[in-house]
Amino acid sequence: MSSPGPHYYDMDLTHAPAPSVARLVVIAGPACSGKSGLIKRLLTDLGKDKIGFSVSHTTRPPRPEEQEGIHYHFFTDEAFEMAVQNNEFVEHTEFCGHRYGTSKRAVLSVLETGKLCLLQLNMQGLKNLKKLDLNPVCIWIDTPNLEELEERITERGAESEAELEERLAAAKEEKAYGRTPGLFDFLIVNDNFDVAYDELKQLIERLYTQTAHQQQQQQHDQANSHASP
Ligand code: 5GP
């Protein structure tokens, strides 16, 4: 697995409004816990006003239903490595033989709209992000038990038998990691999709309201400090 280097620390968020306010929301959880489906519905419901999705980069080949620029930016190994060398990522990692990364440009393009920025990360990506001073809110999406997770992963399949085995092993490790006390701000168990979605939607709306309030407060404080002699 690739490890974070010093380049993770120089992300320039100063062009985004109110950078000190927590507006990065990480949705993490084992593969097949339902993160993508939940995010997709959130974007349809709240995307216009409140949230935007940071579209990740990956060297994994697209699945039949996936579209360039919507689900991922699909990169060759060479293009991905060049982006790493050019210091374009906030975080990047390897997962089951493919590389994944969040670009600074993807994050900034959402933050500049004033919306909350949703990031979908695996365990290692989250570990890397937590080392930065970006103050993310972390939500862990889980399945009720390991058996169900394994069933979903097997059903989805993978490029090869070896990758499937690797994905099953990773899911086991990630599931255990997700239950580490104090790691996440919120835990949602995706037993029933509609129930999990309602919980997530309420949570995001609450975060958005809180953030908008903090932002107004910050602007008010700044205006006052400029006005005072
Ligand atoms: P999949 O290949 O199933 O789409 O994704 C594999 C894993 O990579 C999932 O846990 C997914 O959340 C994670 N992932 C997707 N995008 C990124 C990213 O930009 N960075 C990191 N670290 N993980 C990602």
DSSP state letters, 133-199 = S---EEEEEE-S-HHHHHHHHHHH--SSHHHHHHHHHHHHHHHHHHTSTTS-SEEEE-SSHHHHHHH
CA angle 113, 83, 91 (to 5 degrees): 65
> Identity (one letter) of the amino acid at 157?
G
Q: What is the secondary structure of 188-223 as a DSSP string?
A: EE-SSHHHHHHHHHHHHHHHHHHHHHHHHHHHHHHH
Domain count for the chain? 1
Q: Is the pLDDT score of 4 beyond 70?
A: no
Reported confidence tier of residue 21, pLDDT bands at 50, 70, 90: low
Sheet architecture: strand order including 57-58: 73-74, 57-58, 98-103, 89-95
The answer to whether residue 81 sits within a structural domain is yes
The answer to whether residue 168 sits within a structural domain is yes
What pLDDT is stored for residue 215 in this prediction? 78
Q: What is the CATH number of the domain that holds 27?
A: 3.40.50.300
Under 8 Å between Cβ of 137 and 207: yes
Of residues 23 and 83, which shows the higher confidence score? 83
The answer to whether residue 92 sits within a structural domain is yes
Retrieve residue 96's tokens. Answer: 């089951």
Catalytic residue list contains 99: no
Distance CA 121, CA 127 (A): 9
Q: Is the pLDDT score of 32 beyond 90?
A: no
The answer to whether residue 152 sits within a structural domain is yes
For the chain, what is the mean pLDDT? 85
Local structure of 31: helix, strand or coil: coil
Q: Is the pLDDT score of 88 beyond 80?
A: yes
Give the distance, in angstroms, between the CA of residue 59 and the centroid of all CA atoms in the same chain: 17
> Identity (one letter) of the amino acid at 123?
M
Q: Is the pLDDT score of 93 beyond 80?
A: yes
Marked catalytic residue, from 23, 41, 63, 206: 63
Q: How far is the CA of 139 from the centre of ligand 1 (A)?
A: 15
The answer to whether residue 142 sits within a structural domain is yes
Q: Is the pLDDT score of 120 beyond 90?
A: yes
What pLDDT is stored for residue 67 in this prediction? 95
Retrieve residue 123's tokens. Answer: 């365990």
Distance CA 12, CA 104 (A): 8
The answer to whether residue 1 sits within a structural domain is no
Reported confidence tier of residue 27, pLDDT bands at 50, 70, 90: very high
Reported confidence tier of residue 76, pLDDT bands at 50, 70, 90: very high
Local structure of 99: helix, strand or coil: strand
Reported confidence tier of residue 107, pLDDT bands at 50, 70, 90: very high
Q: How far is the CA of 98 from the centre of ligand 1 (A)?
A: 9
Local structure of 110: helix, strand or coil: helix
Reported confidence tier of residue 229, pLDDT bands at 50, 70, 90: low
Q: How far is the CA of 108 from the centre of ligand 1 (A)?
A: 19
What pLDDT is stored for residue 22 in this prediction? 53
What pLDDT is stored for residue 13 in this prediction? 43
Of residues 134 and 14, which shows the higher confidence score? 134
| Model pTM score | 0.84
Q: Is the CB of 120 under 6 A from ligand 1?
A: yes
The answer to whether residue 17 sits within a structural domain is yes
Atom from ligand 1 closest to the CA of residue 31? 10
Catalytic residue list contains 167: yes
Distance CA 119, CA 40 (A): 12
Q: Is the CB of 143 under 6 A from ligand 1?
A: no
Q: Is the pLDDT score of 20 beyond 50?
A: no
Reported confidence tier of residue 14, pLDDT bands at 50, 70, 90: very low
Q: pLDDT tens across 149-206, in order?
A: 888 888 888 778 888 888 888 888 988 888 788 788 999 999 899 999 999 999 999 9
> Identity (one letter) of the amino acid at 205?
E
Domain that holds residue 114: 6-227
